Amino acid sequence: MTADDLIPGLERTVEDLLGEIEQLPVDVLYREPTPGEWPVMSTLAHLAELLPYWAHEAADVAHAPGKDFGRTHDDPRRLGAIEQHGHDSIADILPRIRDGLVECEAALRTIPSDAWDAVGQHPTRGAMTVERLVQSFVVNHAAEHAAQIRATLETLRASQSSQVP
């Protein structure tokens, strides 16, 4: 496993999602699908932050095996990104996500091919290899949030009288 194996799928996931988001009416981006659930823009703000965050965590473990890495759901950096950028405009968030993807890819490319088996310690999941960390927290995480956004849009389509494309 190398960064070159993972990056094309990650790029496709992010770019496909952004292509869909660019077509949406602005007001849809800020509606909660149900009370307490993240609107699309909050999820996009999180996506912009998570891509470089987890890629750097993986690179750190690759270069210093055995280290502690990661965070839990209540981490202030995670929540801060949502609070700070959850009301951004589409014109602001799209480049932020693309820049986060570029930074993510650059960090992943620093991982030597023989370091994908290096192991670090996550606070709740325990021992994880760099490969598993990247699959779980970068690749799958981005895909899960893309699916979450699509589900949010479906919920809004079903519950709103205004047309959501």
How confident is the model over 81-90, as pLDDT tens digits? Answer: 888 888 999 9
Structural domains present in the chain: 3-159 (1.20.120.450)
pLDDT average, residue stretch 40-56: 95
- Tell me the average pLDDT of the chain: 90
pTM of the model: 0.89
Q: Between 27 and 88, where is the model more confident?
A: 88
**63-101 core/surface letters (b: 16 or more CB in 10 A; e: else):** eeeeeebbbeeeeeeeeebbeebbebeeeebbebbbebb
Beta bridge partners of 119: 129
Tell me the one-letter amino acid at 162: S
- The first and second tokens of residue 143, run together, are 């895909």
What confidence tens digit (pLDDT) does each residue in 150-165 have? 888 888 777 765 555 5
In this prediction, residue 43 carries a pLDDT of 94
CA angle (75, 20, 51) in 5-degree steps: 30
Sign of CA dihedral 163, 45, 126, 12: positive
- The mean per-residue pLDDT over the stretch 18-38 comes to 87
